[in-house]
């Protein structure tokens, strides 16, 4: 077992200074009234005490748009961009909350598996992640309900605020240990009193984070409500803008387009974030749309997130981060939708339609 450490909260800026030569450093910074994960040029920019960010850390591993390969249309040759990715500077990503660490773990499953997506995995390997424990609830989150308020892995270092001015530091990986060596003077080995403070912090968290959504029976009520008109009612407010999918830490779907250069002699194959709420998401070349109505697409998003992930990966795809609720122009709350669905227990319509 790797030892745990403590550090002064104020020393996070010194950690940034020490790591600067080795990493491009990213963390939560202020954007008007909100926070975003952004590059930290001045250590003073970092805001450790943040509620949530507009986009999740997904953007670091699967950027909104990326060139996968370039075609030389005259030579008929293909060059992928993996070498460029490997050549990029390592990244240090600071202050990632538990919900988002769980989100990253889910993306790991999607982009790993039988066919490994190297674009994702190279970025993932090159990133050192310092997690940050939330001891207080945030405005829209419901991590405790989704069981994502704690983490077992996915971080290199994990910080828990203790005693008001220090962090209890857990080391998750050798990458984390390496970071500690980089700024050794900032860390001291945790002693019995520190562990006691750590325990108190976790106890405080347990009491502070509300349990708002009951997952009991979620698979069953989602299955049963599949053909229920409730989806049409929810869809009345949905502008199918896809904002919920863009901000979601576990939405990963993407579109692929070939972009020709102006001389028409080469083309980039680019992938960009897509959303299952968009009209043409399930449209096939012949013109048949397998999810024709906005209501069908809205339902699909909930169903896949809350039910489909469980079948595929053994866990629910929602981390309870609350970003979709925060982003929805119509204020559709994922918590409220789940609560509403959980009241519907009716015989489903079955058979081939």
Partner 1 sequence: MQLQVKKENVYVPDLARLVSKRKMSGTETLFEFEFVEDRLRDLFDYRPGQFVQLSMFGIGEAPFSISSTPTRKGFIELGIRRTGSVTNAIHNLKLGDIVGIRGPYGNGFPLEALKGRNLLFVAGGIGLVPLRSLINYVVDRRSQFGDVTIFYGTRNPSEIIFKDELASWDALDDVDFLMTVDKGDKDWKGNVGVVTTLFNKREIDPNTVALVCGPPVMYKFVVDELLKIGIGRDEILVSLERRMKCGVGKCAHCQIGHKLTCMDGPVFSIFEVEQLQEAI
Partner 2 sequence: MGDNGKPSVGIFGLTGCAGCQLNILNIEDHLLDILNLVDITTWVMAKQENSEGPWDVAFVEGSVAKKSEIERVKKIREKSGVLVAIGACATHGGLPGLRNFRDISEMTQIVYGENNDHIDAIPIKPVSAYVDVDYELPGCPMEKTEFLEIVKSLVMGKRPYSAQYSVCGECKALENICLLKEGKFCMGPVTQAGCNALCPSNGAVCEGCRGPAPEANWAAEVKILKKIGATPEDVRRKFLKYCPSVAEMPEFKELEF
Kindly state the smallest distance separating residue 68's Cβ from partner 1, in Å. Answer: 6
Residues 19-38 that bind partner 2 (CB under 8 A): 31-34, 36
Least separation in angstroms between CB 250 and partner 2: 15
Could you tell which of partner 1, partner 2, none binds residue 239, using a CB distance below 5 to 8 A set by kind?
partner 2
From residue 57 to residue 86, the character string flagging contacts with partner 2 as x (rule: CB under 8 A) and all else as - is --x----xx---------------------
- Please provide residue 156's backbone torsions phi and psi, each rounded to the nearest 5 degrees: -95, -45
Q: Could you say which residues in the range 97-126 bind partner 2, by CB under 8 A?
A: none
Question: Which helix (H) or strand (E) segment is 135 a member of?
Answer: none
Please say whether the beta carbons of 37 and 27 come within 8 A.
Answer: yes
- Contact between 247 and partner 2 (CB under 8 A)? yes
**Partner that binds at residue 271, options partner 2, partner 1, none, CB closer than 5 to 8 Å by kind:** partner 1
Q: At what angle do helices 98-111 and 118-125 cross, to 10 degrees?
A: 140
Q: Taking the alpha carbons of 120, 123, 124, 130 in that order, is the dihedral positive or negative?
A: negative
- Between 153 and 258, CB nearer to partner 1: 258
Whole-angstrom distance, CA of residue 2 vs CA of residue 156:
12
Q: Is 296 in the site for partner 2 (CB under 8 A)?
A: no
Q: Residue 44, Cα to own-chain centre: how many angstroms? A: 25
Kindly tell me which of 225 and 240 has the beta carbon lying closer to partner 2.
240
- The residue (of 102 and 240) whose beta carbon lies closer to partner 2 is 240
Cβ nearer to partner 2, comparing 155 with 273? 273
67 binds, among partner 1, partner 2, none (CB under 5 to 8 A by kind): none
**CB closer to partner 1 out of 14 and 271:** 271
Query: 38 vs 303, which CB is nearer to partner 1?
Result: 303
For residues 148 and 348, give the distance between their C-alpha atoms in angstroms, rounded to a whole number: 31
Helix (H, G, I), strand (E, B) or coil at 238: coil
Binding mask 197-236 for partner 2 (x = CB under 8 A): ---------------------------------------x
Task: Using CB under 8 A, pick the residue from 243, 251, 306, 341 that binds partner 2.
Answer: 243
**Torsion of the alpha carbons at 45, 320, 126 and 153, rounded to the nearest 10:** 110
Report how many helices (DSSP H) and strands (DSSP E) the chain contains, helices first.
15, 12
CA angle 170, 174, 180 (to 5 degrees): 60
Find, among 185, 197, 190, 152, the residue nearest to 169 by Cα: 190
Contact residues for 312 (Cβ-Cβ < 8 A; gap 6+): none
> CB 30 → partner 2: shortest distance, Å?
11
Q: In angstroms, what CA-CA distances link 131 with 6, 27, 115, 259, 339?
A: 14, 11, 28, 37, 30
Does 257 participate in binding partner 2 (rule CB under 8 A)? Answer: yes
Distance, C-alpha 146 to centroid of its chain: 14
Of partner 1, partner 2, none, which one does residue 64 interact with (CB within 5 to 8 Å by kind)? partner 2
**Which residues form the interface with partner 2 (CB under 8 A)?**
31-34, 36, 54-55, 59, 64-65, 236-243, 246-247, 257, 259-260, 262-264, 272-273, 275, 277-280, 294, 327, 329-330
């Amino acid at each position: 077992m790797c030892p745990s450490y403590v550090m002064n909260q104020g020393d996070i800026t010194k950690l940034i200074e020490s790591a600067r030569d080795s990493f491009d450093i990213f963390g939560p910074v202020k954007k008007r009234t909100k926070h975003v994960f952004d590059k930290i040029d001045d250590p003073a920019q970092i805001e450790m005490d943040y509620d949530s960010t507009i986009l999740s850390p997904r953007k670091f591993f699967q950027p909104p748009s990326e060139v996968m390969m370039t075609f030389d249309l005259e030579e008929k040759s293909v060059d992928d961009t993996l070498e460029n990715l490997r050549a990029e500077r390592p990244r240090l990503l600071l202050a990632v909350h538990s919900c988002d660490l769980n989100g990253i773990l889910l993306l790991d499953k999607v982009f790993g598996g039988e066919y490994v997506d190297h674009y994702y995995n190279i970025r993932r390997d090159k990133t050192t992640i310092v997690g940050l424990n939330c001891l207080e609830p945030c405005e829209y989150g419901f991590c405790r309900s989704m069981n994502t308020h704690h983490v077992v892995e996915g971080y290199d270092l994990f910080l828990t605020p203790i005693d008001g001015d220090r962090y209890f530091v857990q080391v998750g990986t050798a990458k984390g240990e390496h970071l500690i060596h980089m700024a050794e003077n900032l860390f001291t080995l945790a002693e019995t009193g520190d562990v006691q403070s750590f325990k108190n912090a976790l106890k405080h968290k347990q009491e502070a984070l509300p349990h708002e959504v009951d997952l009991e029976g979620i698979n069953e009520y989602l299955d049963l409500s599949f053909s229920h008109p409730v989806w049409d009612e929810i869809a009345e407010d949905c502008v199918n803008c896809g904002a919920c999918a863009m901000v979601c830490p576990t939405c990963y779907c993407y579109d692929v387009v070939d972009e020709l250069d102006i001389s028409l002699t080469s083309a980039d194959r680019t992938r960009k974030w897509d959303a299952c709420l968009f009209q043409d998401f399930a449209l096939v070349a012949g013109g048949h749309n397998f999810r024709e109505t906005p209501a069908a697409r809205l339902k699909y998003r909930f169903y896949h997130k809350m039910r489909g992930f469980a079948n595929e990966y053994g866990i629910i795809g929602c981390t309870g981060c609350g970003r979709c609720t925060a982003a929805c122009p119509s204020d559709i709350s994922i918590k409220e939708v789940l609560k509403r669905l959980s009241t519907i227990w009716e015989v489903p319509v079955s058979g081939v339609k």
